[in-house]
A and B are shown apart, each in its own frame.
Chain A
Amino acid sequence: MTIADTPGGAGGDVGVEPRRHPGPAAEPTRRKKRSWAFLGLTPFAFYVLAFLALPTILALATGFFDTDGTITLGNIAALFDPVIVNTFISSFWLSALTAVVGAIVGAVICYAMLGARPEGRLRQTIESASSVLAQFGGVMLAFAFISMMGAAGLVTVLLKSTIHFDIYADGVWLYTVPGLILPYLYFQIPLMVIVFLPAMEGLKPQWAEANATLGGTRFTYWTRIAAPVLAPAFFGSLLLLFANAFSAFATAAALISQGSQIVPLQIRAALVSETILGRSNMAGALALGMIVVMIIVMTAYSFLQKRTTRWQR
């Protein structure tokens, strides 16, 4: 409403500025048109309220109620039960490990892409492949890894028959949390390529030239120019990868059918069986715990993102 009342609007783009100072005569009709235009925003506003805001609030709020509808902090307190704490720890190390490895391998791919023609076929293929594979989480990814390294998988059998190496000598670990590492990397690395490539391309050739003119070596270029410039983008991407792994559900759900070793699986258990640790509405409390982690990570991400864009102009 405030925008409709003030003719100039608050702040905004400089380029649009001159058009937003209509003469005094135009004022009443313009105001009328604005309030009509506001009506045009209602479908989207209503949609987002009903299917984004409401479910999020409901998800977070149910954690504070028990089955009778009375307010309780019991579910939140249950987040500190050793069983739940352990699932959070598993989620943390799985996300952190796949984020760090994914970020490093992804950055190496981005480095390899430096100097490739931006409109060349190689670039096109890598970008399309990355966007497909970053989306490839879930049931299909689980199938791929079962065919590859399930008990009768191609790689499992080949390793056993050729070099007599049994990857499952100590029992099959594909269907446990360590088994998720490789499948997660399969979508983490491509995501890193997508988010980090623009930053890598922001490195200006002039900086390398300036470095060479001033007598710097390739080593000084990478350590003293490229690394500081790329650091915010790299750590920002790392956080995004962490968030991506932390919130991933489908791959784990398809691979791990027994037990709930990570937080998203614990939420599944809470939703399906209604009770965990003898409590109802535990799903809401777990959702709250997840959201808190996600908000911290994504806030740090957007902070780093702001520093990144400084170099991309």
Chain B
Amino acid sequence: MSRAATGVRSAPTAGTRRWILAVIGVLFAIPILSMIEFSLRQGLAGGYTLDHWTGLFNPANASRYQVVWTGLVNSLVLAVVTVAIVLFVLLPTMVLVQLSFPSLVRLLEFICIIPITVPAIVLVVGLAPVYSVVAQIFGSSVWTLAFAYGITVLPYAYRTLQSNLGAIDVITLSEAARSLGAGWGSVFWRVLIPNLRRGILAASFISVAVVLGEFTIASLLSRQNLQTSILLMSQTDPYVAVIIALLALAFVFVLLLVIGGVGAAGQKGRRKTRTQS
């Protein structure tokens, strides 16, 4: 390239880019590597062993690690109920607002963004009295916590669903289906849902990721979930607590990697259809 061309460039050279990203990447890898190193330690005496990893999956230790397994199961139940709230309460509302109440779109967006301004630590102060009523109606099973988690994931779920909803023409699609004789039920299930598959998948995954990492509300309402149980576990067996944390982290990373993949695949697909038409 000529000198003029290099003058035009605003982007860094490939060398600079690699250098910056490598330094920051290494710094960010150190805490994770330290966790792996710690999980392999033999004990205070030094030396390394795989015992902590194999011991975790040994049925003989099941009672020792009961706390963690209970926490994990609770968190998975909470994740499922939270996703259900997103898909059966939030999503229909968003579609309905888009179709019938365009003037409420802004209001809905505002409501869904509020949980960013009202942090969990503030919300939990008011949730304590609310949950004493909830316990009277639904009992005090762990799944009821998902009502609070549905609020926590609202900004994330809204954003992912809205970006999909905004990209398809909901009104034209539903009117086309209606004029071909479809009822509202089949418009929703057979026309809109298949078009929103990507957004639904992404919103579900991000909700699962947020629920698995949630600590504040569970801890202060004295419920047991994955995060509170690994904190508890760390007092008796820190190695296992660190291993579970690593596994949870890896799981969430894969989930979000899949979201990224789903999003990119969708974009490529859209671009392709656009060039074809």
Instruction: List, in ascending order, chain B residues with CB within 8 A of A248's CB.
Output: 119
B-side binding surface: helix, strand, loop or mixed?
helix
Interface size on A (CB < 8 Å)? Answer: 98
Of residues 242 to 298 in A, which have CB atoms within 8 Å of B's CB atoms?
243, 246-250, 253-254, 264, 267-268, 271-272, 283-284, 287, 290-291, 294-295, 298
Complex Cα gap A12–B97 (Å): 12
Instruction: List, in ascending order, chain B residues with CB within 8 A of A131's CB.
Output: 256, 259-260
Interface residues, chain B, CB within 8 Å of chain A? Answer: 4, 7-12, 16-17, 20-21, 24, 28, 30-35, 37-38, 44, 85, 89-90, 92-93, 96-97, 100-104, 111, 114-130, 147-148, 150-151, 154, 171, 175, 209-210, 213, 215-216, 219-220, 227-228, 230-231, 234, 241-242, 245, 248-249, 252-253, 256-257, 259-261, 264, 267-268
Contact A44 B101 (CB under 8 A): no
Contact B34 A16 (CB under 8 A): no
Complex Cα gap A144–B154 (Å): 28
Looking at the assembled complex, report how far the CB atom of A40 sits from the nearest CB atom of chain B, in whole angstroms.
5
Most buried by B among A37, A143, A207, A249: A143
Contact A144 B35 (CB under 8 A): yes
A-B contacts, 26 of them at CB < 8 A, read A9-B102, A34-B100, A43-B89, A48-B111, A52-B118, A52-B151, A52-B154, A59-B122, A108-B24, A113-B17, A114-B11, A128-B253, A129-B28, A140-B227, A140-B245, A143-B234, A143-B242, A143-B245, A186-B31, A218-B9, A253-B215, A253-B216, A268-B220, A271-B124, A287-B121, A294-B117
A101 within 8 A of B: no
Complex Cα gap A155–B33 (Å): 10
Complex Cα gap A50–B150 (Å): 12
Of residues 217 to 250 in A, which have CB atoms within 8 Å of B's CB atoms?
217-218, 221-222, 226, 243, 246-250
Contact A114 B171 (CB under 8 A): no
Contact A59 B171 (CB under 8 A): no
Contact A147 B125 (CB under 8 A): no
The chain B residue with its CB closest to the CB of A153 is B34
Instruction: List, in ascending order, chain B residues with CB within 8 A of A22's CB.
Output: none
Looking at the assembled complex, report how far the CB atom of A226 sits from the nearest CB atom of chain B, in whole angstroms.
7
Looking at the assembled complex, report how far the CB atom of A266 sits from the nearest CB atom of chain B, in whole angstroms.
10
A133 within 8 A of B: yes
Contact B227 A250 (CB under 8 A): yes
- Given the interface pairs A51-B150, A147-B37, A148-B31, the reply to whether A41 lies near B96 with Cβ below 8 Å is yes
Instruction: List, in ascending order, chain B residues with CB within 8 A of A129's CB.
Output: 28, 253
Contact A217 B101 (CB under 8 A): no
Contact B150 A47 (CB under 8 A): yes
Stretch of A72-80, A81-89, A119-127, A163-171 on the interface side: A119-127
The chain B residue with its CB closest to the CB of A112 is B20
Instruction: List, in ascending order, chain A residues with CB within 8 A of B24's CB.
Output: 105, 108-109, 189
Contact A138 B96 (CB under 8 A): no
A-side binding surface: helix, strand, loop or mixed?
helix
Instruction: List, in ascending order, chain A residues with CB within 8 A of B264's CB.
Output: 119, 124
The chain A residue with its CB closest to the CB of B44 is A152
Looking at the assembled complex, report how far the CB atom of B86 sits from the nearest CB atom of chain A, in whole angstroms.
11
Of residues 9 to 62 in A, which have CB atoms within 8 Å of B's CB atoms?
9-13, 16, 19, 34, 37, 40-41, 43-44, 47-48, 50-52, 54-60, 62
Contact A212 B7 (CB under 8 A): yes
The chain B residue with its CB closest to the CB of A124 is B260
Contact B242 A250 (CB under 8 A): no
Contact B28 A16 (CB under 8 A): no
Instruction: List, in ascending order, chain A residues with CB within 8 A of B242's CB.
Output: 143, 147
Looking at the assembled complex, report how far the CB atom of B186 sits from the nearest CB atom of chain A, in whole angstroms.
17
B122: which of A114, A145, A154, A290 is its contact (CB, 8 Å)? A290
